[in-house]
Structure formats: C-alpha cells, structure tokens
Amino acid sequence: MKGCLCIDVPKKIAYNSLKCVTKYYIGDAKMRIDQDCLGKMEVKDDALYGIHSLRAVHNFPITSEKVHPAILESMLEIKLAAAKANLKADTLSKSKADAIINACKKLIDNHDYRAFIVPAIQGGAGTSTNMSANEVVAQLAYQMTDIKIHPNDDVNQSQSTNDTFPTAGKMGMLKLAPKLLQSIDNLINQFTELSIQHQKTIKIARTQLQDAIPTTYGRSFKAYASLFKRDYKRIRNAAKNLTIINLGGTAIGNGLNASEYYQNNIVPILSEVSGLNLQQADDLIDATQNCDSFAEFSGALKTLAMNLSKVANDLRLLSSGPQTGLNEISLPKKAAGSSIMPGKINPVIPEVVNQVAFEVIGKNLTVSLAAEGGQLELNAFEPIMFRDILTSEEHLTKAIETLINNCLKGIQVNAQYNRKNVEKSAITATVLTPKIGYEKATSIVKEALNKNISVKKLVLDKQLLDSATVENLFSPEVLTNCDNQDSAIQ
C-alpha cells in the first residue's frame, strides 16, 4: 500500500503514535510497522494515515469512492473544536492542543484529503473514518511541531465515533444544502419567468392524457414554480433538524469520559469553528441511536426528485414528435439523437434529470432501510446513509442546473400550433353545458367530430345560440376562465 503525504511538511521520521516495532526499506520506500490490538501492518513511513486506515482499505474493498470531503472537513473541525474545549477544560496541554489545532487548520485550509484513504462504504458505524482522522491529525501535528500526539488519548479526547461521525455527517449535509436550495430557487425563478412570458399563450389541458378544457402555458409554468416552492420549504425545514447534534454524548449519549466543561461547551465551540448554527440535542441517548432526521432529510430529497421527474416527463411528452407527436413545445437541440436516423433529436436534458431522480429515489430506500436497521443504542449503518444523502444532494443540484441552463432557458412554446389545437378541439363544448345542458352538448361534440368541423361553427350553423353569445362563450377569456391577472389571452 503506497503512503500519501498530502501536504508539505518537514522531512523527518514520522512518529508512530500507537506502537512502532521497526523501520526498514522496501526498495526506496522507508516503511514502518504499526501495531494495534489485532496485530501488525506495514505502513509507508511518511504516510499520515496509519494501521486503522489500512485495515479499512483491506476490509472494505466495495468501492474506490472515498469518504465525502464534506464529512472529512467536518470531522477535522470537530477535532479542532474538541482540542479547544479540552484545553479550556484543562484536560489537554496547551502545546498538544495547539499542535492539534494547527494540524487541523492546515488540512482544512488546503482542502486536500488524499491522506484519508478510508472507503465511503464501511462497516463499524464510521469508526474507520474517525480513527483515520485521529491518525492523520496526530501524525501531521508531530511532523509540524515535533510534539508527540496520541491519536486516541489526545486527538480523540472526550469523543467517540458514535458522536463525532453522526455530527460530521449532519454537518456535511448542511454544507451542501445551501447550493441545492439556491438551485431550487433558480428553478422557481425560471418557471416564474416562463409563466409571465406565456401568460397569454392558450393551450389544451389534458387529464389522463385526454383532451380537457383550455388553459394557458402561463398557468402551467406557474404550477411548476409553485411545486418547487414547496420542495424548497420542505428541504429547508428538514435541514433545520440536522442542526441538532449528539456531540458530547460520547459512546451512547451519557457523556462517559468527557469533562463537564467539554459537554457543556463543545457544541458552541464547534458552531464557531464551522460557521454552522448547531445545537446539542436535549436527549443525547435518543440522538445517538435514532436516525429519523436523516430519513426525513432524505425523504425531502426524494420528493424533490419525484417532482423533477414528473416535470421532466411533461417536457418530454409536450415536445414529442415533432411531426407525429404533441409538438406543443420545442426543447433546445443539445445532441444528435441517433447513429442511424439522420436529423433525429432527443430530449437528453429531461432524460438525464429523470435518471438522477430514479437514482435519488433508490438511495432514499437505502436510507430508509438503514435508518430502520439500527439496533438498541446505536445505528451501525450511517456510512451508507451519509454517502447516499450527500450524493443525492450533489446530483440533484447539478441536475437542476443543467435543466435550467440547457433546457428551460431555451424552451420555445409553439403558440400558433397550440391555438389551432384549441380552436379545433371538441372539448370546448364544455362551455355550452350551462346554456344547453350536458346531454345536448354531448351530441354537439359527437356531431362535430363526425363532420370534422369545430363545435363553435356547428353551434352557429344550428343557431342554437345567438352569435354574440357564441363569440363570448368561445373567447379565450371564457374558455380559460381567466381572472383579472391574466385576462388578455394571446
């Protein structure tokens, strides 16, 4: 296993904080032997990681995907905040606290997490991630200062994986949430723009894929904007519950091995370090073992995915054809659609949005099962939850961005074609029902279809109503039941 020194440090022999039995060379590489309670392993001597990280790589060869940078950054912020709290609690010396703090700052400021080799999918409820952070910080602190720092006794002081890992997971989700919310807000604004632009563009509505009464594209686009406004609120509200953390609870929530000062002050210190408005849970035992807040947030992402997929379906259907489909709208041409059919163009942007939605919906099921699968005082399945939720946040953000920039901004509504559809649609006979009754209106529809003429013309030909009444009934304003806000129809 090759070691990875992720930042420039003084060239010296790294301090093996656990137990170094011997050092030797393999080729040009200086090696060390690390030892833990299970035995010994070879580690490249200048590697910041240690035996726990290597064991994770060997034990969990599921994916090459590493723990998400947002979790790693958050874990380092926790280690930094813990060092500050332990210093003030007088349980950690100033020299060690400063060494830990400076090492954490160095790693965070460089945004370089190559020394963190632990796979994203792992057993152990996140222990490998936490131990890896302890090892990397301890080794780097020593290389920067010559002060011997123990990964567990010093870096992990007053902590447990069971309160640091879920806290880091929540922090990671919170850090990705603003970008997702901004993309949803942009989507709402884009649909609102389209609704204003097409406020007067009349079209035939459809229910159960069959012709229904006329409406406008302005109203259709406004409905999409309203839909995503709810998603915005839903995700924002679910994210608020992620700010409630169990840090200070250590192993099961009772705070064993943490000083009173640490328990009372670690969360405010972490809030200051991270810039997040975090709160300590009222019931730390509950917050340590139950994962409903993750399931709730994932569920909000799933609902957004579902709504995006529904809108993508609408866009694909409305643009279908163009010669033999609905052809009510035209989407921007973004890619050749066929290797055999010349000139064919496919709705590739809505299609990729659909696929992201399918992925997110599937990941939500994984999160649901993982949250349910916890037992007694701890849920062991947070690694897969965090990996899937963070991936969903990122993919949804990018899917929305491409939908806006590569589809909605260039969408064209075929106004004339839509108007002709309204004029020839027999469903416009609906406006006759209050005047001539349902049964008579039904017979008019049938006759108009048989004779292939418009309902309006048939009513005028039969002189069922005076011409002024007919013109009024079949005006766009009446057909679309417009209010004062969109009374003038194009």
DSSP element (H, E) containing 445: helix 438-451
Distances (CA, A) of 263 to 75, 162, 246, 441: 17, 15, 10, 75
Other beta carbons less than 10 A from residue 302's beta carbon: 22
d(CA 171, CA 279): 12
- Tell me, letter by letter, the H, E, C secondary structure of 390-426: HHHHHHHHHHHHHHHHHCHHHCEECHHHHHHHHHHCH
Active site (annotated) includes residue 338: yes
d(CA 270, CA 275): 8
Among 401, 405, 188, 184, smallest CA distance to 301 is for 184
Other beta carbons less than 10 A from residue 40's beta carbon: 13
Q: Is 258 helix (H, G, I), strand (E, B) or coil?
A: coil
- Tokens for 93? 């010396």
d(CA 90, CA 16): 25
d(CA 195, CA 489): 13
d(CA 176, CA 182): 10
Q: Is 283 helix (H, G, I), strand (E, B) or coil?
A: coil
- Tokens for 73? 């950054």
Among 163, 298, 189, smallest CA distance to 234 is for 298
Q: Is 276 helix (H, G, I), strand (E, B) or coil?
A: coil
- Tokens for 170? 């929540």
- 124, 59 in Cβ contact below 8 A? no
Q: What residues have CB less than 8 Å from 72, skipping those under 6 apart?
A: 113, 116, 129, 133, 168
Amino acid identity, residue 430? T
Catalytic residue among 93, 226, 338, 467: 338
Among 161, 174, 176, smallest CA distance to 379 is for 161
**Enzyme catalytic residues:** 338
